């Protein structure tokens, strides 16, 4: 097997350096060959979107499959269309939160979830071996533009929240679309929910002039300032393809994704009179604390939305999500969904009061995050060394090595794309979290020195 083509979230790269028209067309041929049926395609507003989409679509059509072009839409809209219309699969042209010089090709399975690794491997084999279904002139596919996908998607969301409660609350919200794909959907959603919205970066522009599309605290300074200046009830920020949402509370405080995950998880368990919530091993203990307090239970997985989604399907979970703002609502669809997340948080605030009060009630933990360089060929040996060193502690090896303490944990994960380990520690205080990372970093250094000899 040749080198891996798909990363954690599709095939990504800098345009005309890593990701060319030729690669995109050949990958489209492989996708069409493997999907064997009609394929929906959408894109975010990056400047290279038309180029990459055209190349991928040409490849798909050459294999004999039809392409249904949904236009510029959020990733969850393509996923919802695929799931709802019984077609072979979908492709989203996006690099999500990456800088504007990047773009990407993300494959969607027939059930609307992100494509599982084994199917990506099938596409990779076809791509590298050039084993494509090149159809004759009278059997190639066609492209059909489709409108209405956004309407059906928003309708699904609105059916799952208490619209009247949101309207009665007369909320004022600042919405930051990041010049991304949410510009065509989230302002409409807020209007339909009766929310007064002040919109920032609401025009789709592939250069992301307002701010970089990753919704970090530093990038959302304008949103934070506008929430404070206008006395808004909350701020809502999407990433470039709108599968994630980050919130600013009514006092102008940036909410890290684990806090919004915990608030929504608590509500979903309460609504379902219990149930299971699925989240990666990297999520804060505050999520488990609030879920168990409501009579639910937590199941941990490897990091990655596709892994979380498939575990949710397997065990019939009531909710799931990651600490990056990517929340998954099974009654809507089994994928991260930024607009559904925003609508649910608006409902919660409408019924339970200010977002700052909800945050204040959450259990408090501090985290420390860092990384350590390690050659890729030593990673497995180093992980085995760590397990042995911490054998007296409770150790979880679902994804890397997680050392569990009574009031927190330390997680050591090998990067899938770089020669390094990521170290995350959580404790009740900043000092304790830092000390745990310090200790683990020393053990890691010992292990790396040992195996470098």
Q: How far apart (Å, rounded) are the C-alpha atoms in residues 210 and 203?
A: 10
Helix (H) or strand (E) holding 164: helix 163-169
The CA distances from residue 348 to 230, 256, 263, in Å, are: 21, 17, 9
Give residues with Cβ within 8 angstroms of 244, minimum separation 6.
Answer: 97, 215, 238, 257, 324, 325, 326, 336, 338, 341
- pLDDT on residue 2: 57
Closest CA to 198 of 235, 157, 239: 235
Sign of torsion over alpha carbons 431, 355, 193, 177: negative
pLDDT at 416: 72
Contacts of 113 (CB under 8 A, 6+ apart): 79, 306, 309, 310, 313, 334, 335
What are the DSSP calls for 377-413, one per residue?
Answer: GGHHHHHHHHHHHTTTSEEE-SSSEEEEETTEEEEEE
Please state, in angstroms and rounded to a whole number, the distance separating the CA atoms of residues 223 and 240. 16
Contact 372, 441 (CB under 8 A): yes
Name the residue among 15, 1, 98, 9 with its Cα closest to residue 52. Answer: 15
* Contact yes or no for 260/244 (Cβ under 8 A): no
- In 3D space, the residue among 123, 225, 188, 139 whose CA is nearest the CA of residue 342 turns out to be 188
Sign of CA dihedral 434, 436, 439, 445: negative
Torsion of CA 435, 438, 440, 442, to 10 degrees: -140
Rounded Cα distance, 57 and 24, in Å: 9
Does the active-site annotation cover 136? no
* Mean pLDDT, each 10-residue run in order, the chain (453 residues): 77 96 98 96 98 98 98 98 97 95 97 93 96 95 96 98 98 98 98 98 97 96 98 97 97 96 98 97 96 97 92 98 96 97 98 97 95 92 94 93 94 86 96 96 93 80
Q: How far apart are CA 230 and CA 221, in angstroms?
A: 14
- The predicted pLDDT at position 1 comes to 44
**Cβ neighbours of residue 28 closer than 8 Å, sequence gap 6 or more:** 55, 56, 57, 58, 59, 60, 62, 63, 91
Q: Residue 104: in which H helix or E strand, if any?
A: strand 102-108
DSSP state of 218: G
Catalytic residue among 48, 62, 96, 185: 96
CA Rg, the chain, in Å? 22
């Amino acid at each position: 097997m040749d080198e891996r083509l798909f990363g954690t979230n599709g095939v990504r790269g800098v345009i005309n350096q890593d990701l060319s028209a030729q690669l995109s067309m050949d990958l489209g041929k492989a996708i069409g060959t493997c999907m064997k049926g009609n394929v929906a395609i959408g894109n975010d507003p990056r400047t290279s979107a038309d180029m990459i989409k055209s190349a991928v679509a040409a490849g798909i059509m050459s294999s004999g499959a039809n392409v249904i072009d949904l236009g510029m839409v959020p990733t969850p809209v393509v996923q919802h269309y695929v799931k709802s219309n019984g077609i072979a699969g979908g492709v989203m042209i996006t690099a999500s939160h990456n800088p504007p010089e990047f773009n990407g090709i993300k494959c969607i399975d027939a059930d609307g979830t992100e494509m599982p690794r084994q199917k990506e491997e099938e596409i990779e084999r076809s791509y590298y071996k050039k084993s494509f279904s090149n159809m004759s002139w009278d059997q190639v596919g066609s492209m059909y533009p489709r409108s209405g996908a956004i309407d059906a998607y928003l309708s699904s969301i609105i059916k799952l929240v208490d619209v009247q409660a949101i309207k009665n609350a007369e909320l004022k919200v600042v919405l930051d679309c990041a010049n991304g794909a949410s510009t065509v959907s989230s302002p409409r959603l807020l209007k339909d929910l009766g929310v007064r919205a002040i919109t920032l970066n609401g025009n789709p522009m592939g250069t992301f002039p307002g701010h970089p599309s990753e919704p970090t605290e530093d990038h959302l300074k304008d949103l934070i300032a506008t929430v404070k200046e206008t006395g808004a009830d909350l701020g809502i920020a999407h990433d470039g393809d709108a599968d994630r949402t980050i919130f600013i509370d009514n006092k102008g405080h940036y909410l890290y994704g684990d806090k919004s995950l915990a608030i929504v998880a608590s509500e979903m368990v309460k609504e379902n009179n219990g149930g299971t919530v699925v989240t990666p091993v990297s999520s804060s203990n505050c999520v488990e604390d609030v879920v168990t307090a409501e009579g639910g239970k937590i199941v941990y997985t490897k990091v990655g939305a596709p892994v979380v989604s498939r575990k949710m399907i397997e065990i019939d979970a009531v909710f799931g999500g990651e600490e990056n703002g990517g929340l998954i609502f099974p009654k809507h669809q089994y994928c991260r969904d930024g607009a559904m997340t925003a609508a649910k948080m608006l409902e919660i605030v409408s019924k339970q009061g200010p977002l700052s009060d909800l945050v204040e009630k959450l259990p408090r933990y501090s985290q420390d995050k860092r990384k350590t360089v390690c050659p890729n060929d030593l990673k497995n040996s180093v992980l085995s060394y760590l397990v042995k060193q911490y054998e007296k502690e409770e150790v979880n090896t679902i994804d890397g090595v997680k050392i569990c303490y009574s009031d927190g944990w330390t997680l050591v994960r090998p990067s899938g794309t770089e020669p390094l380990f990521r170290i995350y520690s959580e404790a009740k205080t900043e000092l304790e979290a830092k000390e745990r990372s310090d200790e683990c970093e020393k053990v890691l250094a010992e292990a790396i020195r040992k195996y470098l000899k």
